[in-house]
Amino acid sequence: MPWFAKGGKISKKILMRSFLFIFLLLQICLSNHSTGEDWSEFKDKHFVVYYTMSEDESWARVLLQKAEEYYDRIALEIGYSRYSNFWTWEDRVKIIIFADQKTYLQKTGQPKWSTGYSNRDSQLFKSRVIVTYHQENDFIDGLLPHEISHLILRDFIGFDRQIPLWFDEGVAQLNEANKKILADTLMKKLVKQNQFIPFEVLTTRDIRQETDSKKAIRFYLESVSVVDFLIKEYGHSAFGDLCRGLKDGKDIEDAIRGAYSGSIDSIVSLQEQWVKYMQKQ
């Protein structure tokens, strides 16, 4: 007698429960995430892109290709490609594309102004993720490389390490379209007028509390300008050493001293070198 039969007749209650159980199991198996969407996917070496709408397919393909390009470029730029090859096979980063902003906000609980975010250990998606929705703005040239850079830097240095915000945001902006050119133009002007943020202030400030948008913009542009200067003037390999110093638990000043010994030995001397560099450009 089958286990679900009672006295030769199938118990309706047990049958219903069995169907419900199988239905829930199928839901879990078919869906990669706990959001209830019906996901399709494309995979490459380091990323998997998930999308729900068939009309998003070509956008998803472009996104995947760009993500792989950014990965290679950023890893090379910050000297990481020498040390490790991570994010492969099952360790790929998931890029989640919701159909529209409304669904994206509903499912992720992000603030209304949010257009996307990254998370190294997402509870919702059980993985490293970049989450967004299909949009026409500059996501692919802006937020995508920004979030990939944050993830790579954090994998390099360690998620629990304390690093100055300017360093984190400076690296994150390296591959945003036109950001370095914009920073270069503004910072040259501010250096000339002696109006830049002194590096001792830059290193201790948490700009996330800043309400004056002009000050926030200045902070971000100065951050990318300093990181760009270090890479252009002293190379990817020395920058990789700086990151490794931070990974080993050094504070930013010690890590700089270790990576640029003989050239830069403090935050103050970093500022002096950067100012000289900006003046001769």
What does the binding site for Zn ion look like in residue numbers (CB under 5 A)?
A: 169, 172
Residue 146's SS3 state is helix
Provide, rounded to whole angstroms, the least separation between the CB of residue 118 and Zn ion: 9
Provide, rounded to whole angstroms, the least separation between the CB of residue 213 and Zn ion: 16
Provide, rounded to whole angstroms, the least separation between the CB of residue 138 and Zn ion: 15
- State the residue number with the nearest CB to Zn ion: 172
Phi-psi region of 32 (alpha: psi -120 to 50; beta: other; left: phi over 0): alpha
Question: For Zn ion, which is the closer residue by CB, 9 or 208?
Answer: 208
Provide, rounded to whole angstroms, the least separation between the CB of residue 35 and Zn ion: 24
Q: What is the DSSP letter of 197?
A: P
- Give dist(CA 163, CA 154) in Å, integer: 10
Provide, rounded to whole angstroms, the least separation between the CB of residue 15 and Zn ion: 53
- How many other β-carbons are positioned within 10 Å of the β-carbon of residue 226? 24
Question: For Zn ion, which is the closer residue by CB, 143 or 252?
Answer: 143
Question: For Zn ion, which is the closer residue by CB, 169 or 222?
Answer: 169
Write out 236-278 in H/E/C secondary structure.
HHHHHHHHHHHHCCCCHHHHHHHHCCCCCCCHHHHHHHHHHHH
Q: What is the DSSP letter of 17?
A: H
Question: For Zn ion, which is the closer residue by CB, 145 or 245?
Answer: 145
Question: For Zn ion, which is the closer residue by CB, 37 or 176?
Answer: 176
